[in-house]
Chain A
Amino acid sequence: MKLVSYFRGEAFQRGVHPPSCKLTAERKIRRLPFPPKVTVPLSQHIGKAPRPIVRVGQEVLRGQPIARSDEWLSVPHHAPLSGVVEFIGLRPGMRGTWVESIVIRAHPGATQEDLWGRPRDLSQASGQDILQAIWDTGMVGLGGAAFPTHAKLSVPKQAKVHTLVVNGCECEPYLTCDHRVMVEHAHDLIHGIRYAMRATGAVRAIIGVEDNKPDAVAVLRQAIAWAGAGGAFPEGTIHVEAVPTKYPQGAERMLIMALFGTEMPAGGLPIALGMVVSNVGTLAALGALLPAGRGLTERVVTITGPGVARPGDYRVILGTPLKFVLDYAGVPAVDALDARQVILGGPMMGQAIGSLDVPITKGVSGVLVFRHEDMQEREARQTYPCIKCGECVESCPMGLNPSTLGMLAAKREYDQMGERYFLGDCFECGCCTYVCPSNIPLVQQFRVAKQILREKAAA
């Protein structure tokens, strides 16, 4: 395995190759109809939640800001629908707890055009202005982490950024939304990249795409050549590079490893290497929103899985309840006893949710539905004690020793895990659990351990 990867030049060690299952890679992005009601949770991102600036009963226009905050690590929200604010309060959230949300009921018959946006000319704007404009769109990382984009793209005073790394790997199985965005919205993406380069001061941008998406690579190269010839940017500053297909290639440090052969120092950020990493979906959305002066009100979501009748990539209004989404995508009629699993995100790192009232938020890249049958095989797996096969050690992209970590977790020796075995480096990619023949829920144990360590540190 190692030998093979050496010859193929797979640029980070270890990792896994789950079946890719990209059912929807060939389908055009379609628009999901507007739901009668949307639920916009106030906290959809990492950082502080903004405060609502509308009242119950107030009419809002699509695209109008409905929540805002002056905190740096926070982004505003915009009304996804023209309608009436019906309720502000607690609603089911994706993590199982109820979260503060704004519920908007659509005006029947409203055209649902974005009437709020004010087109502007950013061609002469400074980096600072662009950052401010990005902040105003309410953009967060659409790849799943949901980190506020303006914060990610802002460069601290003492640092200097030379490269913008654009992450188009989409290494999670099943998900294809980034793939489709690259194929269908290449020009928006290039615009987004230009804005991001100007905001950060990067002199080059490199788009890393996994080599299982040759069409995206071809389209992007062509689009770049075309836009470059048109004089939109200095030629040769944006490159597309196919990187080997391997999970988790889409993790920042793995992608940087693949492109530059450099290990990001543990605990560091790409900025230490003079880089900023952003996801293609985010930049494509920026490319479309910034010149139009609009806010983020919709995103592309992959709705897929064996339990979906019409899988595909859909452009979904933020706040659309899952129930509505799944109804439309055709989750066959439900018998109450026919259990299923609904996952927000990809199958490796996604979050299983407990209620279909949960809305689509900014960080949701996929909705995955598994039928009971699909989970049965997994369910039938016996859990054994660790047989020390070493598979997890060989697959952990961070070079940790999940076997020993797992054993320490079972003994509740959390301090040991953190100090001697670098638990803090684990980014919960799930490779170790994926390969474990003993079916040990390693990642789950690590999550618990990290939480406990965090609480200890805080105390």
Chain B
Amino acid sequence: MTQPLIEIRSAPHVQGPKSVETIMRHVVYSLLPICAFYVFQYGISALASILVVTAACLFAERYFVRTGTQAGRLSDYSAVITGLLLALTLPPGFPLWMGAVAGLVAIALGKALFGGIGFNVFNPALVGRAFVQAAFPTAIATYTPSFLAGRFTEFIPSSLAWPLMIPADAAIWLKAKNLDALAGATPLAKWKFDGVLANAGDLLTSLSGNMAVGPAPVLILVCGAYLALRRFMDWRIPLAIIGSAALTAWLLYAFDGVRYPNPFFMLFSGGLILGAVYMATDMATSPVTPKGMWVYGALIGLLTVVIRYYSGLPEGVMYAILIANAASPLIERITQPVPFGRGVLDRAKKRATYPLNPGYISREEASAVTPKKRFLPKKPKK
């Protein structure tokens, strides 16, 4: 045998199956049904919006990667996720040119500015959305009802506004369709400004009537569950958000059932579920420590409800997540895991097979004294 070429690497020499690309790709897969449902709700306007916003994100990503401003590659799919999520948070009739601006800003200010994938402090999609919310306050508040007849053949007129032009007023268009302008308000806005409460069951599926709502929370939860089960997403964050939002809303509801809506309405209206499952779980902007994830989620849930109730805005998810993003390095600092052997030392003693001190020495005695642990998660008898 001649001396072969030998490669040298450092241990470990095997590697787990997950890579950044696979994670991101699966997130994109799981978003596709949600996007399809969105298109089903709002027709070609929604489709155009998704395509334009995503294209804008990809364009910006490619530009910044090419110029070396940020790390990562186009093929890591992270810009696709940003684009899809951003499009899902915008109203379906959002002027396409504004959508493109939102996409560009999301990547430029939300991601490239910090150095690209992994370095961003804020969720880029939300940065994009926050920007257009400030820049185009009317357009972003203009919703149109879902399931309009002819949605697959006709654009919502505001979609096609020329760049830098004010979009057509949706109310006129709606009147022509024999719907009053109120139909264009989101359930949250209706509750906030008119005191009209939508049925939580209807909100859950988004299917009934001409409601101005986003994709069905049920569908989002199912897609999220898929991701969580395949471990492409952390399950703690959505659970913490939903739990803490429900708890806060329920407490307030129990305190004053007239002034505050019931907790189910809180959970399933607006972007809470989408935010909890897809926005807040953005890896780069959430804490890495398991305990920190709970804290972070709880903070978002709490802030969302508080903003919705006490601020002038109908929707609070976006700001809640952005604030929590900013707080996440701090949360991480105070929730560092306790290293093995440095915490309370008897943590798992109850599941031990052998007591530490051999007061007995025979096996039979051992099984008589301690519960057999495996496959039997029984609590030790006191």
Contact = CB atoms under 8 A, between A and B. Distances in A.
Interface residues on B, range: 35 or more
A278 interface: no
B9 A341 contact: yes
A216 to B, nearest CB: 17
A437 B345 contact: no
B178 interface: no
Contact of A404 (B332, B354, B361, B377): B332
Contacts of A439: 15, 19-20
Contact of B22 (A401, A422, A437): A437
Contacts of A381: 15, 19
Given A334-B2, A425-B339, A352 B14 contact: no
A388 B377 contact: no
A286 interface: no
B76 A384 contact: yes
B23 A389 contact: yes
Contact of A336 (B2, B18, B234, B353): B2
A101 to B, nearest CB: 19
Contact of A385 (B10, B119, B293): B119
Nearest to A258: B353
Contacts, number: 270
A11 interface: yes
Contact of A18 (B4, B16, B355): B16
A253 B348 CA distance: 13
Interface in A408-448: 421-422, 425, 428, 430, 433-439, 441, 443-444, 447
B354 A354 contact: no
A352 B11 contact: yes
A340 B373 contact: no
Contact of B12 (A370, A382, A387, A430): A430
Interface in B176-209: none
A439 B362 CA distance: 48
Contact of A422 (B118, B290, B339, B351): B339
A265 B345 contact: yes
B351 A9 contact: yes
A400 B339 contact: yes
A350 B337 CA distance: 28
B12 A239 contact: no
Main secondary structure of the interface of A (DSSP, over half): loop
Interface residues of A, number: 106
Contact of B374 (A244, A340, A384, A430): A244
B355 to A, nearest CB: 7
Given A236-B361, A356-B3, A385-B119, A348 B289 contact: no
B157 interface: no
Interface string B362-375: 11101000000111
A120 interface: no
Contacts of B341: 253, 263-268, 398, 425
B13 A350 contact: yes
A384 B118 contact: yes
A341 B6 contact: yes
A459 B351 CA distance: 45
Given A260-B352, A351-B11, A434-B15, A203 B358 contact: yes
Contacts of A333: 1
Interface in B319-370: 332, 336-343, 345-358, 361-364, 366
25 contacts: A18-B14, A19-B14, A203-B361, A204-B358, A236-B363, A257-B348, A261-B346, A263-B340, A268-B341, A336-B5, A339-B6, A341-B7, A351-B11, A352-B6, A352-B8, A354-B8, A372-B7, A378-B15, A384-B118, A385-B118, A388-B283, A389-B283, A400-B337, A400-B339, A430-B11
Which 9 A/B pairs are nearest by Cβ-Cβ distance?
Answer: A261-B352, A236-B362, A430-B12, A385-B118, A266-B341, A339-B5, A334-B4, A390-B288, A261-B349
